[in-house]
Amino acid sequence: MILEKLNQNEANFADVIAYIEENYNYTASAFVNGNQENAIDQNQGSAKVFAFANLNKPCSSYKCNWPSRF
């Protein structure tokens, strides 16, 4: 499962996005992360990962070792 791979640092950003697209029905939305405001057509990969994390609560500690793409 993708959560096990994430917790073991064995998944990358593309793996997470692929899992989300295969297993969830996602509707694009605008979102804010700190001072960063994202329109409905911006940074939807991050929005997908944030929504997935919110649904699955994968980390027991504050810091997760989840992949990101810059």
In the 3-class helix/strand/coil scheme, how is the chain assigned residue by residue? CHHHHHHCCCCCHHHHHHHHHHHCCCCCCCEEECCEEECCCCCHHHHHHHHHHHHHCCCCCCCCCCCCCC
Residue 67: band (very low, low, confident or very high) from pLDDT cuts 50, 70, 90: low
Q: Which domain holds residue 45?
A: 2-56
pTM for the model stands at 0.77
Number of independent structural domains in the chain = 1
pLDDT at 66 (0 to 100): 60
47 domain residue, yes or no: yes
62 domain residue, yes or no: no
Please tell me the distance from the alpha carbon of residue 70 to that of residue 64, in angstroms, as a whole number. 17
The tens digit of pLDDT for each residue in 18-65 reads 999 999 999 999 999 889 999 999 999 999 988 998 888 766 554 566
pLDDT at 59 (0 to 100): 62
64 domain residue, yes or no: no
63 domain residue, yes or no: no
